[in-house]
Structure 1
Amino acid sequence: MEDKLFYTVVSTSVIIALIIMFFVISVIRYHRRYIRLQKDMIRAEITMQELERKRIANDLHDSLGPLLSSVKLYMQSIENISADNRALLNIANSHIDETITGLRQISYNLSPESLSRNGLVKAIEEYLFRINSSKVIEIDFDAKKDIKLPENIEIHLFRIIQEVVNNTMKHAQATSLRLIIAVVGNQVTVMSIDNGIGFNPNEMGKMARGLGLSSIRSRCEILNASLTITSAIDQGCNYVIKVPLS
């Protein structure tokens, strides 16, 4: 009788253990599938954003740019006008020049041709040259010229660096920023160090939306990259992104 009870208890325990194990495995599989689907959705959304950015950049470059240039040529061809009107015409020409320059900058930010043509390092150099020329902030960039990465990694890293630079200029009140890209073995590391006002790391969750961190984190997830942000009040802010290449 006792043996029968013992076997019944053991059998029941084994069945319960198997049910629990099956449940745990199912939950783990569901969680992995959910994460995979989430990544696929983020990847698809970002891909659509890049395509839309490219389309808008092409429209600006191919349509509005030539149109403004044509308007400027027509205005320059106007003759026999008074000195006052000529002065107004010169001012209008100056505004058109500024608009054309602004369109080129917007078009470049939306879809930098240099990225596909010359690679990540050259594209970042051109992007930072434009910013340094404005004298708003001094940005030092350190990377080997011969760095060549897969196209999908380059576009995501370029967008991440754009976001980091924008965050620094908008929120950090920094006068200098240092960017580093290094490839060691099967890993590429991107570092950003600024001398801005920093922030309380305990408030990072509240500030994430304002700092545009969701975009950076989404792209890091797609690349299976790690993202570390360190900061303190009056101590600047550091970003470290590590992307596996294997």
Structure 2
Amino acid sequence: MENAGDIIFLIFVSTLLFLTLALLVVVFVVLYQKRFVQQKQIIQEQETIYRQRLLESVMETQEEERQRIARNVHDDVGTLLNVAKMQLGSIRSADEHQHEKLGQLGQHLQESIDQLRAIARSLSPPVLDKLGLFKALEDLAGRTKVTGAVKVNFSGEEGNAVNRELANHLFRMIQEVFTNTLKYASPTSIQLQYESDDEGIGILFRHDGNGLIQEEVKNISDSGKAFGLDSVLSRGLVSNTRVMFGKDEEGYFVEFQHPYI
């Protein structure tokens, strides 16, 4: 009987040890998987932070290059053209026989000067630095309207001041949307609405031409064939701004909301 009891006791102890060992193995596997998931999540977060910092660095470099080119266009090339125009004026007064041809040449020079100024303003709009985002968007809408190619309506109130970095991202995104819309959408009218309060900034760009919805934008962006759209989406990511492409009964729109909640 004692031997039978000893055997039962040994079986019980062995079973208990086996179950304990099995439980330890299960706990180890669970903890390992949990740790693996946590490490994977940390790596993904670090990669996201790295990509975002890389985007910020690239965009900062691009902006500095824009400003440098704008200064060179305005200061160097613009000065040379103005000097050429002045010299042309003195030649024109001295030679009446070539008056008409020189007059045409002077007109072409003035057009070149005006175009260079427009390029410099587009690369680094002075109104953005001097007067802020609201006035810069108002100026952008006004300059588009002056071309006569499309009706443009800008509405809203300035509200709270916007820091320089965010203002630059928002302005560049809307400038790109303006450019793409005029180039590809064939609109007859554009509406730009601006709202700013303590909770954030909301900007609505609406037009009556052809357009894209969010899914189409994502597909085009994933294909790598739309640098302009990629620029808009990248700036939205870097500046924590929600960028939504859509369509309703009034037509196509692009909505910008900062911060992205």
Determine the C-alpha separation between the residues in 2 that align with 1:235 and 1:114. 31
**Counterpart code for 2:207:** D
Alpha-carbon deviation of 1:199?
4.3
Determine the C-alpha separation between the residues in 1 that align with 2:146 and 2:251. 23
How many residues end up aligned between the 2 structures? 244
**Counterpart code for 1:243:** H
Determine the C-alpha separation between the residues in 1 that align with 2:201 and 2:141. 20
Matched, 1:50 2:63: yes
Local SS of the residue matching 1:168:
helix
Matched, 1:218 2:234: yes
Determine the C-alpha separation between the residues in 1 that align with 2:211 and 2:232. 18
The match for 1:77 is 90
Q: Which has more helix, going by share of residues?
A: 2
Matches within 5 A, 1:1-246: 1-78=14-91, 79-83=93-97, 85-199=98-212, 203-208=216-221, 209-210=225-226, 212-231=228-247, 236-244=251-259
TM-score normalised to structure 2 length: 0.87
Cα–Cα, structure 1 residues 64 and 154, in superposed 2: closer, same or farther, change >3 Å? same
Determine the C-alpha separation between the residues in 2 that align with 1:119 and 1:224. 19
The match for 2:9 is none
Determine the C-alpha separation between the residues in 1 that align with 2:258 and 2:200. 6
Determine the C-alpha separation between the residues in 2 that align with 1:60 and 1:206. 37
Alpha-carbon deviation of 1:192?
0.9
Determine the C-alpha separation between the residues in 2 that align with 1:123 and 1:44. 24
CA contact (8 A) 2:212 2:246 kept: no
- Most deviating of 135-144 and 160-169: 135-144
Alpha-carbon deviation of 1:67?
1.2
CA contact (8 A) 1:196 1:235 kept: no
CA contact (8 A) 2:159 2:197 kept: no
Local SS of the residue matching 2:257:
strand
Cα–Cα, structure 1 residues 165 and 211, in superposed 2: closer, same or farther, change >3 Å? farther
After the TM superposition, which parts of structure 1 deviate over 4 Å for at least 4 consecutive aligned residues? 199-202
Local SS of the residue matching 1:102:
helix
The match for 2:3 is none
CA contact (8 A) 1:188 1:245 kept: no
Alpha-carbon deviation of 1:235?
6.9
- Most deviating of 180-189 and 151-160: 180-189
Aligned residues: CA RMSD: 2.0
Local SS of the residue matching 1:2:
helix
Local SS of the residue matching 1:77:
helix
TM-score normalised to structure 1 length: 0.92
**Counterpart code for 2:95:** I
**Counterpart code for 1:81:** D
**Counterpart code for 1:229:** F
Local SS of the residue matching 2:162:
coil
Structure 2: gaps (5+ residues): 1-13
Determine the C-alpha separation between the residues in 2 that align with 1:216 and 1:51. 18
Identity of aligned residues (%): 26
